[in-house]
Amino acid sequence: MKYFAGIDIGSTAIKISIVDENKNLIGFKISASGSMFYKYAQETLDALINELSLDSNDIVYIVATGYGRKLYKEADENISEITANAIGARAAASDFGEIKTIINIGGQDSKAISLDSEGNVVNFAMNDRCAAGTGKFLDVVALKLEIEVDTLSEYHFKSTGTPLPISSTCAVFAESEIIGLLGNNHGIEDIVCGVHYSIAKRIVKLVKRVGIKEGIYFDGGPALNSGLVNAIENEIGQKIYVPQNPQTTTSFGAAIMGVDSYNYANN
């Protein structure tokens, strides 16, 4: 059996997925990007190969993607995270039906991708080089509120008052707004809820640029936050699909791409 690896080097985390020649997901691993992308990517790949009791020679093709993809020189190929995300989403949601739109919120950017019925990318919109409405933003919020980032959704659903709007989604300015709200004794629940809605509104604007359709797939680390998921659902007015492993969709897509590229080159 031949195996294929997809390595997604993001700003916050490195995500690696391994598939077999039938494009079935065999395993994945997530680790922090830290300061040495290349070194950590290699270590994570080695660890994953070990965990799966494979040999490094079993991996016949590696596709790198994500913001740090060009730093991983051992890759046989590298593709943009937008293409990889589209391929991964379609495969991960095979039980759901047709995915027409992908919302991806990463560590430091967010994007909306529109797909045609073949799964090809037809349009995409990105918020670039700004932490507004990204995972980093949620980190900053959690830090200021002195709570863990993975408890944000619990607070969200405990909110009983009006969600408190954060007028600035700039991570730097929002921080001082949150300090102001805390200083005036507003409940953490309503603050968290307001933060989620302000991110959701921003994301929906992005989605509108590519057109809102039925069949929306949401991935990236923040998709694990069900409070944020619900806020986006409310703003967009429909249910959205969150995959079991929202962080690894893109690396999964890269690995699948590897199978196709390998077959194409060797047949």
186 binds other proteins (CB under 8 A): yes
Residue 73 DSSP one-character state: T
Q: Of residues 103-162, which lie at the interface with other proteins (CB under 8 A)?
A: 157, 161-162
Phi, psi of 27 (to 5 degrees): -175, 165
Size of the site for other proteins (CB under 8 A): 32
Choices 16-24, 39-47, 100-108, 180-188 (CB under 8 A): range interacting with other proteins: 180-188
173 binds other proteins (CB under 8 A): no
Tell me the closest approach of the beta carbon of residue 97 to other proteins, in angstroms. 11
237 binds other proteins (CB under 8 A): yes
Choices 43-51, 97-105, 113-121, 226-234 (CB under 8 A): range interacting with other proteins: 226-234
Residue 241 DSSP one-character state: B
The set of residues, in sequence order, having a beta carbon less than 8 Å from that of 85 and lying 6+ positions away, is 102, 104, 113, 219, 249, 250, 253
Among 10, 68, 135, 163, which residue sits at the site for other proteins (rule: CB under 8 A)? 163
Strands 101-105 and 216-219: parallel
Choices 31-39, 108-116, 141-149, 235-243 (CB under 8 A): range interacting with other proteins: 235-243
Beta bridge partners of 217: 102, 241
Nearest to 191 by CA among 183, 150, 229, 110: 183
Within a 10 A sphere around the Cβ of 34, how many other Cβ atoms? 11
**Greatest CA span in the chain, whole angstroms?**
67
193: which 2 tokens? Answer: 């809820």
Residues that bind other proteins in the complex, under the rule CB under 8 A? 92-93, 95-96, 157, 161-165, 167, 180, 184, 186, 194, 197, 223-224, 226, 229-230, 233-235, 237-239, 241-244, 246
